[in-house]
Every structure is written in C-alpha cells, then in structure tokens.
Structure 1
Amino acid sequence: MLRKAATVLSALLVVANLLTAAPALGSSPLISNVTYYIMYDPLARSGYASITFNIDVNTATQFSIQLVNPSYANASFLNATFSNPAAVLVPPLFNSSTGILDFVVNSSTTVNVYLLLYDLFQELTPGSYEGVLDFTMFRNTSFTSTITIPGVYQVIARRFDSPTEAVSTSYSANTTVITFSSPGLYHVILLVPINQVSQPSSGAQAVSTPWWVWVVAALLAGTVAATLLYYLRRGRLEVETLPPKRLEEDDVVREIVLALGDAGEEGLRQSELVSITKRPKSSISRRVKRLLEEGYVEVERVGKYNVLKLTEKGKLLYKRLKK
C-alpha cells in the first residue's frame, strides 16, 4: 500500500516539474500582440468580444489569464480556438465569476477567445450611457482594442491613470468606432447627438431611422416604465441617485470609504465592496468612478485583480467619517 502511494506521489511530482506556471498576462513575456475587439449595443446591454493573442513557449506551461474584470462587466464563454491544436494539453476553462481563462499548452500558438458581454455600459439618462473599460491586465504587452457600437454617439473618454492620453473615435455606416492604443483603465461616456443628421465626423453619412424602430422603441419604453412602476409600488426597486457635490454627504460613498479604510493597505476589489455594502453593482461603480476622479481612491494591480485603496486624501476623509 505504501509502495503504491509512493509511486503515485512520484508521478505527480514528475508532472509538476514538467508544468511551468505562466506569470500574469500583463507582465508575461510569453504573450504578445493582444487584439481585443468588442461589438456592443448599449440599448440591448449586450455584445460580443473577440480576444486574440500569441503565445511563445516550448514546454508545458499553464496560463491563467483574466480577460474581463467582473467589477465592470459580465461575460460568458462561447469558444476558444488555437492555431496549433496539438499544443493544447488542457482545454480552456473560463470562470465567469472572475473573468479568468485557464489552459495548458506546450508549444507556440495563436489563441482566439470569443465571449458574450453584458452590462458593459449603464444608462445614465435617456440617450446617454457610461462604462468603465479595464485593460490593465494587458500592461507591458503589445495591445490594441477596438469597440464598435451601432448608432452615432458623441464619445467622451479618458484614461484614469493617464488623463491626457487620447482615445480615437471615428464614424462609419451609422456606427461609432472607439480605438484604444494602450492598456489602461478607461472611463467612457456615450451621448446621442441631438441632431442625428449632423454627424460628429465630416465623413459620416446622414441616416434616417426607419418608422418601425420608433414603434419598437415606444413599446419597449412602455414595458420598462410599467415594470419600474410595478416594482416601485412594491418597494422592491432601489432608486439610483447621483452623489451630491460633497461626497461625504452620500450614504453609499461613506460606506465605500469606511470599508476601504477598514481594509487598510490590503484594499478591496470592487466586487468585494458590493458584497460588503449590499448595494447594487451600478451604485458602487458610479461612486467609485467619482472617488477616482476626485483623488480619494486609487487602483493598484495585485496579481490578477485590480484593488481599490484610499489615497492620502481618502484617508483624511476616512478619519473624519470615523469620528
């Protein structure tokens, strides 16, 4: 019995020695040429993502790659293909709760991953949407991303950690195309122009909306309004309110700052803030954006995750709230 157990243990040790664990994607020299393409419809609150990257290895290597930050979007796995199928030792497994894809390969290959995306953008007011796009996991890797959105929107975008960096926007065939040339954490706002005939780009064509689109939109608006009224009357819907000018007057902001202050230098992921405060994800996301913009909170990459921590300014607010 002991001899058999020793044999099994020896075999496991051999496999472990053969298997190399790849570092996180953002710092891995084994991964290059990341192309992240997204097609997303904010009206339907759903879309599609195609992520392509190259892998350069010559021994069995385990990869654990975060493709989506669940704090800012939800995703479900469609498929993954490899240009060199013989290189795959363990097929890809996607964890939708963490946005991480795991697989094992033993030689170089190009990987194509296909995902369905949900809740990438949240509606602010009728005709305007906002979202946070997190590409920080691809830092130190050659990277480009393009987002195609049906319809013509005015785009306001900035990178939290590099506000002066420009984001390219173009218009073609009644679509809005946003291009990001470097990885980072981006805040994007979409606004529908009041006059759809005057396009933001001189090369865009004026597009008339078919009559049936307005009929469908009216039916959907009526359905949504009736649903909201039903839940409001039953007291099951929390009405979202924007933070006041003085952030410390907002209950959700106070809960976020207190939670981050209590966590200390370890910080918290945004999903953990949702669990601690019991607030809707959209409420937490909106307040975190405001706190980032005003310098109370900063984002730090820890392993595979983005962690929120209080800045010195945030710590002073925390001390005031604790009194």
Structure 2
Amino acid sequence: MLAAAAVSINPDDPLAGLVVGDQPEPVVPEGWTTVTVRAAALNHHDLFSLRGVGLPPERLPMILGCDAAGVSADGDEVIVHAVIGDPARGGGDETLDPKRTLLSELHPGTLAERIAVPRGNLVPKPAALSWEEAACLPTAWLTAYRMVVNRAGLPAGGGGTLLVQGAGGGVSTAALVIGKAAGHTVFVTSRGESKRRRALELGADLAVESGARLPKRVDAVIETVGAATWSHSVRSLRPGGRIVCSGATSGPNPPAELNRIFFLQLSVIGSTMGTRGELADLVELLDHTGTRPLIDDVRPLTDARASFERLADGEVFGKLVLTP
C-alpha cells in the first residue's frame, strides 16, 4: 500500500529520510481494527520523527503521521485518536500514562492508505465535518482544545481573556478559533504582518507584533513558542494568571522570570495532547457551533514531500492535509 515513511534519521536534513512509496499492509493485533484512511494531516511531530526525536533507528522504516479520519472495518466513519496507552494500566487519563506512545512512534502512523488502531481509539465522525476537516483534529486541535478549555482556567461560559503566542502554527491557530468559539477575548502575536492579518480574519480581537504591549493583562497565555516569547507571556498575565505550555519551538530553556511568577502568584501548567474523551468533546463542539479547522493546503498522498517541505519552511497558516 502507499505510505509516507521515515527510512533514515537525519537531524540536520530531516527530509532526506522521507520516502513516499510502497509499505506493508498493517498488522492487526487483538483488540485493534483497521481504518481505510480518507484524509490525514501533518504535524511538526512528523519532522521531529525524521530527526530521530522519539524514533530510534532500530524502528525504521516507520510510517509517519498521527492524524487521520476514515472508514473503519465495520463501515463506520471515524476519527482516530493517536495516543496509545498501556493496556495493562486499566484506563484513566492516557496522556499521564508513562508508557504512552503516539502513532508513528512505536506503531505505524496514519500517512497511509490503511492503518491499524485500537478499537477504543475511534471517535465517530459527524456527517457535517468533511474528511479533511476531521483529519485536522487529533493532534494540534486536540492539544489546543485541552489547553484552552480544560487547562487555562478560563470561565466556562466565556468572558475570559486569552493571549495566543505565534499565530499561524497548528496549535496556535486552533487555540485562537477554539477560544473565540468558547466566548473569550483572544489576542494573538506574530512576527509576520500577513499572519497577523489572517488571525484577525479568523476572529482575533487584536493581533500585534511579537513582544508588543497588550491593552490589558490577560487571564491565560497559550505558549508553544518557548524561549523567544516566554518573557512576554509572563509579563502579559494578570496576577494569578496561567501560562499553559505545550511546546517550545524556539527553544526549551527560557529565562525563568521567577520573581514575577511568585510575586504575582502565576501558574505555569504543562499540557500534552488530550484524551479520547476530550477528542469526542472537541468534535461535539465543532459540530454544535459550526466552527471548522483552518486548512492551508490539501494534496494527494503521492505529493507528500511537497507538503513536508512547506511544513519545514514554516510558512504555513493552518493545517496541511494529505488524501490517499
């Protein structure tokens, strides 16, 4: 079957190890099932894998991809939850499972015509969501949903203030849209004028250059950039506010800002992916509100390298989708 796979690791030139071609059909363990993929989406996780982050050479070749929507072996239209927990753990929050893994780390990923997943990882796809829209949800959108709705401490009925650092990235774009759907005031930052303009078109209440002063301090910050924006995030919070962090694309070791953090009683909260239940809640939110993921580009799986090149270049606003 056709798939996009990592066949070698290269930290400096990740795309050197990407091959789009024939790969073996999925093996289906007990308790798992197959899904015929109708659409899959790229994430920076795929580039990290090609650099060897979380993917050692002895597991190669490995089919890449965490996000997919398709048709199950039972004929149901489904969205795939990418977090694979330890079956021996017996339930609970799978993101806290020390043995958790994502599709494409230990088990083949979603950038293929067919995949194998645990039956419990399937979420029904509403008819109102297209295949391409549904495929955007399991990683970036689920990460953003958990950060905004369940980790940021914002009022459940709306009315909070939220700063999203780095407009344009998959998680940050999703956080902006989800924040507005949940009824909050959302400020965003970006170095690029075109990305600030796009953010305003998506509903941002204010879009400013990275590091610019905000009109008021916010209740929470969605932080995925790291070192480059950390000081601004800390200084943008009201007393008692929260930074919710799920990434550090500009570097993982920002200035501590400990004096301000303890004096203003700020909270720094880590967040990783989301549970299958949170994915189901996200799908329900989108189905109920009519909110939809922003898609930058859709290409056939045969043209996956071009999408990977765009992802590596960083000039993307929204999700990159591939269709087998």
Question: What range is the shorter-chain TM-score in?
Answer: under 0.3
Q: Which has the larger radius of gyration?
A: 1
User: TM-score scaled to structure 1, two decimals?
Assistant: 0.24
Return the structure number with greater strand share: 1
